[in-house]
Amino acid sequence: MSEQLITITGVDPVDILGANDANLRIIRGLFPKLSLVARGDTLKVNGAPDDIALFEERFNELMAHVARYNELPRKMLDDIMGGGDLPRNGGEGEDDVLVYGNSGLRVKARTPNQQRLVEAVRENDMVFAIGPAGTGKTYTAVALAVRALKERQVRRIILTRPAVEAGENLGFLPGDLREKLDPYLQPLYDALKDMIPASRLADHLEEGVIQIAPLAFMRGRTLDHAFVILDEAQNATLPQIKMFLTRMGRNAKFVITGDVTQVDLPGHQPSGLMPAVDMLRQVQGIGVIELDVRDVIRHELVTRVLHAFQERESKGE
């Protein structure tokens, strides 16, 4: 008889073992020759070495499935642990899924330019994504970041925005600095909540695996082994963008998103986004993707609104 300790990593043990160990009881039925005892995130396995090796191989596959899909239907539990013939990695058309979110959500690139953004991030360590509201710049970037974290390509995700009010004054909001800033950073939280189970997201935020902070908080840092997104970069000045870009450390991916038609900088300060893009467009290792109204994936009225504003601006009104 041998004993093996298996640590449940990358997922909540309850997602694997089930509420009140319901899944564990099923697994015991599939491996009757083994003794299985769960304690927290550790599973103690006793039995013959060959049986333990087979169990560990299938249990690791089970953990990988839950980490990827955020769910464990009974049929898949039986298939993986029982050695069935169902496909392990999803069916046809799954290869283009960026990340499997909550409630069966499958996040994909939904337009040609979004797909170009995905490919640019794969091929470059720094990518600028420029386009109007609703084109999925931030959402696609966050999906890529979550995928990189799940696949352990990076150790953390860092999301940042310039703390510039869109016609409002944060100083009049109640609460401390974080309470004032959190509503402004809410779009980043919203994207993450679509893609990561609430309990795991809370843990990641608490442990610093995922960090969301104003751009000013990036000064002086070196961002290693991280997927870093600067959102709303049109509201950063050129010196601020330079400061951010030079935070890049080893094994890092930087994505900078912005909409040059919605600059909220006070006192008519010029945005640094397009000057930075123009300077860096030809630099090797930096990609630039430009999205337009054809990439809008919000309500169809958003496209009509953008067309109306563009028409007005073209007339110089």
pLDDT on residue 173: 53
Q: Where in the chain is the domain with CATH 3.40.50.300?
A: 97-314
| Domain spanning 2-82: CATH superfamily | K Homology domain, type 1 (3.30.1370.10)
Output the six-digit token pair for 130: 């420029």
pLDDT on residue 144: 96
pLDDT on residue 140: 94
What confidence tens digit (pLDDT) does each residue in 243-272 have? 999 999 999 999 999 999 889 888 788 999
* Domain 97-314 class in CATH: alpha beta
Q: Where in the chain is the domain with CATH 3.30.1370.10?
A: 2-82
pLDDT on residue 63: 87
What confidence tens digit (pLDDT) does each residue in 35-72 have? 999 999 999 999 999 999 999 989 988 888 888 777 78
Walk along the chain (317 residues) in steps of 10 and give the mean pLDDT of each run: 89 89 92 92 93 91 81 81 57 66 79 92 96 90 94 94 61 57 78 89 93 89 96 94 96 96 86 96 95 79 79 75
State the pTM of this model.
0.69
pLDDT on residue 281: 93
pLDDT on residue 87: 44
